[in-house]
A and B are shown apart, each in its own frame.
Chain A
Amino acid sequence: MIEKALHGGKGYWAWIIFLAAGIGIGLFAYLYQLKEGLWLTGMSRNVSWGFYISQFTFLVGVAASVLIVVLPLYLHDFKAFAPITALAQFLTVGTLIMSLLFIFSDVGMPMRILNVPLNPTPGSMLFYDTLFLPGFMLLNLVIGWTAVGAEKRHTTLPPWVKFLIYVSLPWAVIMHTVTAFIYAGTPGRGFWMTAIMAPRFLTTAFAAGCAILIILSLVLRSLARFDAGEKAIRKLTTIMFYTLIINAFFLAVEYFTAFYSHVPAYSETFRYLFFGIDGNTAFVPWFWVMNLAILGAIALLAFPAVRNNHLRLSEACIVALVGLWIDKGFLLVPAAFIPNVFGRVMEYPPSWVELTVSFGIYCLGMLMITALYKVTMAIKGETLYPDK
């Protein structure tokens, strides 16, 4: 089936070459970082985790969001999701590859990464992530690939794949919960130490997953004449709408606890994010844009005119994604280090090397997703238009 990714028009190959070039540039930056050390990044002894770990966190969320498609389809027999299931699963494969590469880029001794499985440490939350991420990637690759293959041969899914699907449902929730536990179990970082971290992670994951799937479905509609089905898009929109509202509620609850309690350990980072401290305001505009984008997306999606118009809908999805990405993919990780453990405000700007490596990793993930989608589209095309 993979040979189908090798046939495409000019636009397809231009996109592939663009991604390959991006990977090349990212790899070059990574080799530079590998040789020189992490001083090339914006990270410091004050803010010791930054852009890489943020991307990892955001992308694990997108990967876990496959649940919102697979669960209604297989537990509630919501057939409208059938056409987009493979898309969701391959999106998960791509985002997990990226997540793993972001961890890999962040560690100081990448050649020792196998020390994690070689010295299993059940007490460490990072250990669970290194187990659950590759496992979930394989699960989704196998399930997605077999499903597309079954579609090609006009057969039904073999029972062992159904079993894997049921395994993957709780797996998604556990995987993202342990990601949240990396942060929520850390004493001395009051911004992270909140029981609502895991629920909020799942909520933002599902919202972001819906937004990306809607955008991808609409892009594929214009590029590959792929019809996700109006019912599926509507359902995704509904899930996104409510998860965005739940997330806004969770955020409001966090703000209340921090500001009404006046406990400095919990409120200082929020004070920095909302207003800045002693003239340090680097994250403040980002934080306000994040809040406004989440609220803006909710407001937009409240209008039937937006929900029912594909162009308007995709715009609302982009607004939501901007908010969700700033929250989890940019601020959540480094902000917890501000102020630092000595009560000093030391800010964090990502460096160009960091951003270039990250761009390369995103290109690689998108290349994988593009190839897998191309195969899926080709097979769906053959099934739909057998004469062509």
Chain B
Amino acid sequence: MTISRRKFLKTVSASCLAVTAHSAVGHGFELPGRMSPGPQELKARRWGMVVDMRRCDGRCTEDCIGVCHEIHNVPYIPKAEHQVMWLFQEPYENTFPDRSHELISKHLKNRIFLLLCNHCDDPPCVRACPTQATFKRENDGIVMIDYHRCIGCRFCMAACPYGSRSFNFRDPRPYIKTIHPEFPTRRKGVVEKCNFCQERLEVGKMPACVETCKKGALVFGDLEDPSSEIRRILAETPHVRRKPQLGTRPSVFYIF
């Protein structure tokens, strides 16, 4: 049996059209891979956080860390050098190594601080990334990672002056106690970090750590909105950011 070139092309193009039309109808003409946030989405021009250490005694930080790591499927890797951390703790001297000296006041010495990605306004990790797998969202300033694009070169880890980024040195899945299917797990060989609970903001919820903290030590809000609670606190209370001399303009502020 012979098929003419014309007939072949006709059949092929007709079937292609049929398949395309079917998938277009099936998906309501949406672009693949796009998800639109719900109507109750929390919006801001630049999200930021205040960690009020007057209210945080470092005793229950395990709660906020625990919840964060649980809902985001962050593995618990026993070996400290390979740990994955979104929300973590460091003493004052290590949180602010450039401010530490031998005469620090009692109430700062050995105090445990809560650390997370600073979601810098000028993030060096985003500059470093060779694939734009890590990027800053223009609409709300959240620094995110596309786990499907990251090649695991770790240039962002070298560029981040805050130690906020973790590399999956091994397969994380066996180290997750219970996998929460609402949030994607990661695989070995990619970098990850705090995402300011972008997936919760989309459905109108505050970040998990903010919600968990019963002492009101974590305040989350829009840094660009002069009438926001976070702006009021920043205007009224002396505060610091980590390593301000590097020009990264962190969006996380600390009050002692």
Contact = CB atoms under 8 A, between A and B. Distances in A.
Nearest to A341: B163
A182 B243 CA distance: 21
A346 B248 CA distance: 25
Contact of B124 (A103, A112, A186): A186
Interface in B201-223: none
B167 A108 contact: yes
Interface in B81-133: 81-83, 90, 93-95, 97-98, 100, 124, 127-133
B66 interface: no
Interface in B134-174: 149-155, 157-163, 166-171
Q: Is the interface of B mostly helix, strand, loop or mixed?
A: loop
Nearest to B152: A108
> Considering residues B81, B82, B150, which has the most beta carbons from chain A within 10 angstroms of its beta carbon?
B81
Q: Is the interface of A mostly helix, strand, loop or mixed?
A: loop
A121 interface: yes
Contacts of B169: 37-39, 43-44
Contacts of A108: 150-154, 167-168, 188-191
B246 interface: yes
A344 B100 CA distance: 13
A107 B153 contact: yes
Contacts of B83: 45
B128 A125 contact: yes
A36 B162 CA distance: 28
Taking residues whose C-beta sits less than 8 angstroms from the other chain, chain A's interface range is: 35 or more
A344 B130 CA distance: 28
Nearest to A119: B131
A124 B161 contact: no
A115 B133 contact: yes
A35 to B, nearest CB: 10
Given A36-B170, A45-B166, A188-B246, A124 B128 contact: yes
Nearest to B188: A37
A221 B170 CA distance: 49
B247 interface: yes
Given A46-B81, A342-B163, A37 B246 contact: no
Interface of B: 79, 81-83, 90, 93-95, 97-98, 100, 124, 127-133, 149-155, 157-163, 166-171, 188-191, 243, 246-248
Interface of A: 36-39, 43-46, 48-49, 103, 106-110, 112-113, 115-116, 118-119, 121, 123-127, 130, 182, 185-189, 264-265, 336-337, 339-344, 346
